[in-house]
Amino acid sequence: MMEGLILEGKSLVERAIEGDDNAFLTIMYDHKLPLYKTALAYLKNEDEAIEAIQEVTFRAYRNIHTLREPEFVKTWLIRIMINYCQNYIKKNKRVTFNDDYLLRQGKNEDYRFIELEEAMSQLDDKQRQLLHLKYFHDVKIKEIAVMWNRPEGTVKTWLNKALRSLRNILEEKGDKGRV
Amino acid sequence: MFKNEENNLLNLKERYGQVNVPLEKLDQAIQSGFERGKSKKVVINHKRKYWMWPSVVAAVLVLGLLTSIRVSPTFASYVKQVPGMEKIVELVRNDKGLLAAVENDYVQKIGISQVKNGTKVTVDSVIADEQGIVIFYTIKMKENRHNLRVENVNLQPTNGDKLPEHTLEFGHPAHEGEKTYTDTLVYFFNNPLKQQDFKLDIKVKTKEISEQFSIPFSIKKQENTKQIYNLNKTVNIEGQKIKIKKVTIYPLRVAVNVEMDPANTKKILDFEDIRLVDQHGEVWSKILNGVTASKVNDEECTLYLQSNYFKNPKELYLVINKIQAVDKDEAYLIVDTEKQQIIKQPKGNLLANIKKEGSSLTFTLNTKKDFRYFLFDSFVDANGKEFYINVGSSGFNEKKQIVSLTLPSEKYTNPIKLKLEFYPSWIEGKAKVRIR
């Protein structure tokens, strides 16, 4: 994972943790796409997603010294982003689902995705975060377990619960649709 | 078991892989987030004669970025016509008083440069009153440079006199890899400034170059530029008595001299919400980016507000709503850094999870909202020796405020006593004093 990033015996992330600004910026630029997509998935609004990038850069910079597992820097950043987005949505008390954005991006067949997204937004914060990390960013269960300080088995159970909740929400919708 | 759901999620991921990404905007957002982060890292310089409250400076800088003042359309179009004016307005737009000074033609054009090996430093213009001077300057480099720093800034009267005791602020963060950098040097003096002719020494350093510049310039005589109001009125906020001694309105800022009653039970840490209000409800708040207060002694200080000098309202009030304060007999924290133990702290036990790693000491601070102040700036060790904390930071992360500081490299003896400079504990009221 760190290939090409090793310099002077220390990884980029290790240097950033020690306060090397250039290393920090490089990390941010390296992870801007997954961060932006996370923001977009939660906020559904380009301007707000960009603002989120700024805020997350700020928070990451101020807290990078607290990062204990340099190899999980990507997940660490994405979690900061998810926390920011979840708080932002709560603070603004708005309906999280706004299909304008995706509709503008694509065509009619996307209705399926809109339903899925709506269902995602109805999950509780932890479940949504879990699905997001696992399926959007391919974060391994093992890594999530370390980050959350829980046994792998527990995380697996949560993941199954999250998928089940998602299925229930979608099925409930489908039923209503058919009435 | 959930193949269907899993596939749906993966398809959704694919879709997000296809959205248009505004790459340039993302890079800008990263850059500004980084700059905000940097400017909030509080670096305290104890050699200053004046007392500064840099954490307040840093704290409000962020706010300032979000709430810059709107400029009237006529003024905006005027700004566009005058070369160099846009840059000046950009630099003062967080300060109503300075903006009004620009709007009222109070800016003195200078335009004197020095060139050394392709690097050019220009003193563009100044705004001055008898108590302060704001110098606008530009550094132009031949090529894109990195890690730009400005050092050894020294303003010297040409006649050989010394500058009066003063504060100096500068160092607006530079964009990486750019050719041009514009910033202000902001001097405020303890005594009125008599001189008009100066030499500005400044060292420009980048990763690639290091050059010393010396630029002579003169300013107009500054006299009778202030209005003094002796008030000596006492306000009471939650039982704490504060005497508003004097308000002095200068073109660059307003100075409010306050004195705390020695019998107060609380130590006043910061006037968080203090403002000038006129008869129409127009507000001039604290200085957003700069020196916000100077301390005379434990009971007396001067607070600085944005200036309404150019507005001259018929009625003017000073309003105090919110003050950071902590009980006098517990305005400190005692810790043992080796045992990683908090021995004593104010009631409420807001601080916890003390951790020492190398020279870094961190705590969590239990606050509901981001507390954008740095709590300490010095400590006394078990032998009574005083140490300054040069670098500290305070950040909000996952519902927790993390306060960290760098311990000095010299030897100290545990336990240490940290005096609280700021603390998330407030008194509130609605004090209003008429100034005129």
Q: Domain ranges in chain A? A: 9-96, 99-179
Residue A52 burial by CB count (10 A; 0-12/13-18/19+): exposed, middle or buried? Answer: buried
Name the fold adopted by A9-96.
Answer: Rna Polymerase Sigma Factor; Chain: A (1.10.1740)
DSSP 8-state secondary structure symbol assigned to residue A136: I
* DSSP letters spanning A97-112: --THHHHHHS-GGGHH
Domain assignment present for residue B152? The answer is: yes
Verify that B57 and B127 share a domain, yes or no.
yes
Residue B131's domain is classified under what CATH number?
Answer: 2.60.40.1630
* Alpha-carbon distance values, B233 to B237, B243, B257 (Å): 13, 6, 11
Structural domain includes residue B85: yes
Same domain, B141 and B171: yes
Residues B265 and B214 in one domain: no
Contact B9 A136 (CB under 8 A): yes
> pLDDT of chain B along its 436 residues, tens only?
788 888 888 888 887 777 778 887 888 888 888 887 776 444 333 333 233 333 333 333 333 333 344 556 666 666 666 667 777 777 787 788 888 888 888 889 899 999 998 999 999 999 999 889 999 999 998 887 777 878 788 899 999 888 888 888 777 666 667 788 888 898 888 888 888 999 999 999 887 788 999 999 999 887 778 899 999 999 999 999 999 999 999 999 999 999 999 999 999 998 989 999 999 988 998 887 667 788 778 789 999 999 999 988 899 999 999 999 999 999 999 999 999 999 999 999 999 989 887 677 888 888 877 787 778 888 999 999 998 876 666 666 656 777 878 787 778 999 999 999 889 999 999 999 999 9
* Nearest-by-CA chain B residue for A37: B16
User: For residues B37 and A61, is the Cβ–Cβ distance under 8 A?
Assistant: yes
Residue B110 lies in a domain: yes
Task: Report whether B304 contacts B350 (CB < 8 A).
Answer: no
Closest Cα partner for B395 from B51, B28, B53, B62?
B62
**B242 & B358 share domain:** no
Please provide the CATH number assigned to the domain covering A99-179. Answer: 1.10.10.10
B36 part of a folded domain: no
Tell me the β-bridge partners of B202: B213
Amino acid of residue B259: E
Alpha-carbon gap: B10 to the closest alpha carbon of chain A (Å): 6
Last residue of a domain, one of B198, B218, B238: B218
In a shared domain, residues B289 and B376: no
Contacts of B49 (CB under 8 A, 6+ apart): B165, B166, B167, B190
Chain B positions touching A57 (Cβ under 8 A) are 29-30, 32-34, 37
Q: What token pair was written down for B68?
A: 């810059």
Structural domain count of chain B: 3
Q: How far is A99 from chain B (nearest CA, A)?
A: 14
Alpha carbons B191 and B194: distance in angstroms, whole number: 9
Residues B384 and B310 in one domain: no
Is this prediction's pTM over 0.90?
Answer: no
Euclidean distance between CA atoms B132 and B294, whole angstroms: 14
- C-alpha distance from B329 to closest chain A C-alpha (Å): 32
Do the domain assignments include residue B41? Answer: no
Range of the structural domain that residue B349 is part of? 329-420
Q: CB A57 to CB B25 under 8 A? A: no
Pairwise CB contact (< 8 Å): A58 & B33? yes
- Please name the member of A32, A37, A163 whose beta carbon is closest to the beta carbon of B2: A163
Tell whether B413 and B378 lie within a shared domain. Answer: yes
d(C-alpha B330, C-alpha B344), whole Å: 9
B288 neighbors B387 (Cβ within 8 angstroms) = no
Given an 8 Å threshold on Cβ–Cβ distance, is A40 in contact with B16?
yes
Whether A58 sits inside 8 A of B19 (CB atoms) is no
Whether residue B81 is found in the same domain as residue B197: yes
Question: In this structure, is residue B102 part of a structural domain?
Answer: yes
Distance from CA of B228 to the nearest CA of A (A): 42
